[in-house]
Structure 1
Amino acid sequence: MLVYILGVALFALGICVSVALHEAGHMVAAKSFGMKVRRYFVGFGPTIFSFRRGETEYGLKALPLGGFCDIAGMTALDEVTDDERPRAMYRFKTWKRTVVMAAGSFTHFLLGFIVLYLMAVTMGLPNLFGTPQVSAVSECVQDARTNEEYRNPTCAPGAPAPAREAGIRQGDVIVSVDGQQTPTYSDVVAKVQPLSGPVDVEVDRDGEIVPLRVNVEKVTRPVTDPENPDGPPKLVAVGSIGVSFPSTFEYTPVSAIGGSLAFTGDMLVETWNRLLELPERVPAVVEAIFGEERDPNTPVSVVGASRIGGEAVQEGLWELFFFLLASLNFFVGIFNLLPLLPLDGGHIAVTWYERVRDWIRKARGKMPAGPVDYTKLSGVTMVLVVIGGAFMLLTVTADIVNPIRITE
C-alpha cells in the first residue's frame, strides 16, 4: 500500500511540475521578446513565500495545483500602468504573441519528448502500434511435442527454418502475407497460421519493398483450451515461419533521438484522434458511474491518471508510469491549443482574428480597429468553462467510484 501511495504522489508531483513548467514556458518566451512579466507563481491560494528578482515576483503558493504567469497586457482588459504600456503584450506583433501563448503547449511537448528519450535509452519504447518489424529470425521451427513441457526448444538436425531460408532478416518489416496487408504483427500471425507451403511475403527493408517466397511450415503449438482455461494447454496445428517481433524497441543514446522524435509524432497523432473521440465516450463514463463496467478507453481525470500511476509503481511497471506521464503531457499540450477561450488556443485565435480583421480593414482603406473587447466574449467563455468543469467533475467522479485499474 505504501508503494502505491508513493506512486500516486510521484505521478501527481509530475503533473504539478508539468503545469508549473507550462507557465514557465510562457514567462521565458515573454521575457525573450521584452514583454513585462509581473509575477510567476507555482500553485494557487495563500502565498507561502515569494521574492523579487528584477521586475518579476517569483513565489510558491499553498496549493501546488499548477501555477500562473502574469504578463502585463495579455488582453486589452488588463489594466496597465503608464510605464508598463509600451511593453504590454497586446502591443507586440501577432507572431510574437502567438509564440508566447503557444510556449506553454510547446513545453508539454518538450517534456513528453524528454520522458520518451529517457525511456528509450534505459528501458526502450513500447511497440505501441504493433509494428511487424522482425526482432529475431529463428534457426528453425518445429513441432511443440519435441519440447519439454512446450518450452526450451532445440533445433533438431534438418528442422525447417522458413524465414531464414527465404532470406528474411532482422529489422525487416513484414508488410504483406499472401497478397494481404499486415500493418501489425498480430495481422502477420493471423495471416500465416492458416497457411502451409510456399507463400508470397513482402518486407520493407531500409525503405525498399523486397518480395520473398516463404515456405510456411505446419507445426503444433500449445494454446489455452477455451473449455478448460485453467487446465493444461492443448496442441493445435498452425502455420509458422520462424520470426519474432519486439514488444519494445531498444536504442542507443544517439539512435534514441530519432526514435523518440518519431514516437512523439505518432503519439501526437494518436492523442489528437483520442481527443476527437472524447464526446462519444462521455456516455460510457456516465454508465460507469452508475455501475457499468468501466471501459479502459474512457477518459480519465488527474485523479484517475494518478491512481493508474500508483498501480504501475506498485506492480513495478515503470514503463507504464513514464509512458502515461508522457501521454498526459501530449494531451494537455494539444488540448490547450484548441481555439476555445479561456485556453491558450482561444487567445491565439483572437490574436489572429485581430490580425486578419485589420488586414481586411487596411485593404478597404480603414484604420486598425484595435484589440478585441473580451467582455463581448465573456458569455461564450463562461459556457465553455461550465462545460469543461462539468466534464472534469464527471471524470473525477468516475475515477473515484469506478476507476480504471491495471490490476484486478
Structure 2
Amino acid sequence: MRVSVLAFVIGVVLLVVGLAVSIALHELGHLVPAKKFGVRVGQYMIGFGPTIWSRRIGSTEYGFKAIPLGGYISMAGMYPPSPKDTARAVPGRQRAGRAGGGFFATMVQDARAANDETLLTDEDEHVFYKLPVFKRVVIMLGGPVMNLLFAIVLFAILLSGIGVQTATTTVSSVSECIIPADAGRTECGADDPVAPAAAAGMQPGDVVVAVNGRPVETFAEVFEVIQNSPAQQISLVVERDGSPRTLTMTPIAVPRAVTDDAGRVVTDANGAPVTEQVGIVGMRQEVEYLRQPIWAGPAAAIENVGAVSGIIWQLPVKVYETGVSLFTGGERDPNGPLSVVGAGRLSGEVAASDAPILNRVAGFLGLLASLNVALFVFNLVPLLPLDGGHIVVALWDGIKRTWAKVFRRPPPKPVDATKLVPVTFVVVIALIGMGAILILADIFNPLTIL
C-alpha cells in the first residue's frame, strides 16, 4: 500500500514538474522573439502568487512563484499609451475612465494606467505596440508554438523511441478452461469446459501463421476470425520449434455486450444491454513495443490538435455535461475536458499501476504530450487575455493600416485593446467558472484508468 501511494505521489509531482516545464517553454516562446525584436521585457515568471526566487539579468527579472500553474512575461507597451486628455484628467493615477465612471470604465482606466507604467517616455521605441504586425503575431504565436513543438518531441520519444504496444501472433499463455465472466473466480471448476486452445494442443511460444488457410500477420486478424466463429470449427497453422503444425478447435460461444462507435454499450427499448455471441478459445498473445517511423510523432501531434480543437470549440457544452454528471453521479465522457487536478490524478494512477515501468513511462509521456497540445489549441482561442486574442488585435491593426494606405488616408491610431477589458473580464470569469466545475468533477466524479 505504501509503495503504491508513494508511486501515486511521484506521478502527481512529475505531472506538476512537466506542467512547469511546459509553461516555461511557452513563456520562452514569447520571450525570445520579443527580445529579438527589441521589446523591453520586465519579467519572466513561472507560476503565480508570491515570488520564491528571482534574479535580474540585464533589464529582465527571471524567477519562480509559489503556484506553478501558469506563467507570464511582462512586455513594455502591450497597449498604446493613454490618450493625453485622459491622462491629464486623472492626475496621480486617479480612477476615472469614461464620463459617468462605472465599474467597466474604471477597469479600462486601470488597465491603461498599468500599461503606462511600462513606458519610459512617449518616444520609447522598445515597446510591443509599435512593432510591425507580423512581429507582434510572431511574438504571440511563439508561446503556443513552443507547446506544439514540445508535444511533437514527446510524441516522437513515445512512438519512435519507445514504440507502440502491438499484439503479436506469438502465444504467451493458454488457459486450462473457460471461466464465465460473472463467476467471480480465477480457478477452474469441475463444470468449466476445457479451453479449446488447450484441447487442441496449443502451447505458449507458438506463432500463429495462418487461420482457416489464410496467412495472418497480426493477432487482430486471428482474434477477428475466432470471435466471428462461435461454435464453428476453425484451423490454425502454428510454427513451433521451426516446424509448422495444424491445430483444429471450436471456439466456445459466450455473450458480449454490443457497443457503438464511441464505445458505449447499446441498450434495447427496455434499457437492457444488447448482447451478441462471440467465440473464445482461451489463449493470450504476446505484446511488444514496435518503434514507429520518425514522422509518427508529428503526425500524432497534428491528429491530437484536431481532436482537442473539437473539444475546445464545444467547451461550454462539454463543461455543462460534466457539471450535470457531477451533480447526478452519471458517467463522464472519457473524451471530455479535464482540469489540472484530473490530469494530476491520471498521472498518479499511471505511476501507481501494476504495469511494467516502460508502460508507465509511455503513459506519462502520452499524457504530458496531450496536455501540451491542449495548451497550444487553448491559447489560440481568439479571445483576450489568451494569445489568440492578442493575435486578432494585431491583425485588426494591420487591416486598418492597410486599408488607410490603399485609400491614401492618414495612418490610423494603434488599436487600443484596453477598450476590450470588459470583454476580457467576462472571459476570465467564464474560464474561472468552467475551471471550478472541472476541478470539482475531477475530485468527486473523476475519470480513472483503473
TM-score w.r.t. length of structure 2: 0.67
Q: Matched residues in 1 for 2:74 and 2:130: separation?
A: 16
Question: Conserved in 1, the CA contact under 8 Å of 2:12 and 2:348?
Answer: yes
Matching of residues 45-124 of structure 1 within 5 Å: 45-76=49-80, 77=112, 78-79=115-116, 80-82=119-121, 85-124=124-163
For 1:219 and 1:307, the matched residues in 2 are separated by 44
Q: CA deviation at 1:396?
A: 0.6
Q: Distance in 1 between matches of 2:321 and 2:200?
A: 43
Alignment of 1:172-251 (within 5 A): 189=224, 193=228, 220-222=250-252, 224-225=254-255, 249-251=290-292
Alignment partner of 1:367 is 2:410: yes
Secondary structure of the structure 1 residue equivalent to 2:447: coil
Q: CA deviation at 1:372?
A: 1.4
**What does residue 394 of structure 1 align with?**
437
Q: Distance in 2 between matches of 1:248 and 1:276?
A: 35
Offset at 1:245? 12
- Structure 1, unmatched stretches of 5+, are 128-133, 139-143, 171-184, 197-217, 228-234, 239-243
Cα deviation, residue 339, structure 1: 0.6
- Measure, in 1, the Cα distance between the counterparts of 2:65 and 2:57: 17
TM superposition shift of 1:276: 3.0
Identical aligned pairs, as a percentage?
A: 33
The AA in structure 2 aligned to 1:341 is: L
Aligned pair in 2 of structure 1 residues 220, 154: CA closer, same or farther (>3 Å)? farther
- Structure 1 residues 332 and 85, CA gap change in structure 2 (3 angstroms): same
Measured against aligned partners, the alpha-carbon deviations of 1:117-167 in whole angstroms (never above 9, x if no partner) come to: 22124431468xxxxxx97699xxxxx7353588537989x9866433xxx
* Aligned counterpart, 1:335: 378
Residue 22 (structure 1) aligned to one of 12, 17, 26: 26
How far apart are the structure 2 equivalents of 1:62 and 1:84? Answer: 36
TM-aligned CA distance change 1:356 to 1:226, over 3 Å: closer
Query: Given the superposition, is the C-alpha separation of residues 310 and 370 from structure 1 closer, same or farther in structure 2, using an over 3 Å criterion?
Result: same
Larger radius of gyration: 2
Native 8 Å contact 1:8 1:309 kept in 2: yes
TM-score normalized by the length of structure 1: 0.73
Which position in structure 2 is the counterpart of 1:210? none
**Residue type of the partner of 1:312?**
V
- Contact 2:78–2:128 (8 Å) recurs in 1: yes
For residues 277 and 110 of structure 1, the distance between their equivalents in structure 2, rounded to whole angstroms, comes to: 25
Residues 40, 84 of structure 1: CA spacing in aligned structure 2 closer, same or farther, 3 A cutoff?
Answer: farther
Whole-angstrom CA distance in 1 between matches of 2:426 and 2:297: 38
Matched letter for residue 250 of structure 1: R
Give aligned pairs, total.
345
Residue 304 of structure 1: how far off its partner (Å): 0.7
Tell me: CA distance 1:32–1:152, structure 2 relative to 1, closer, same or farther (3 Å): farther
Structure 2: segments with no counterpart, 5+ residues: 81-111, 172-194, 233-247, 258-276
CA pair 118-236 structure 1, distance change in 2 beyond 3 A:
closer
Structure 1 pair 87–137 and aligned structure 2 pair: CA distance change class (3 A): same
AA in 1 matched with 2:251:
R
Counterpart contact for 2:154–2:297, Cα < 8 Å: no
RMSD: 3.7
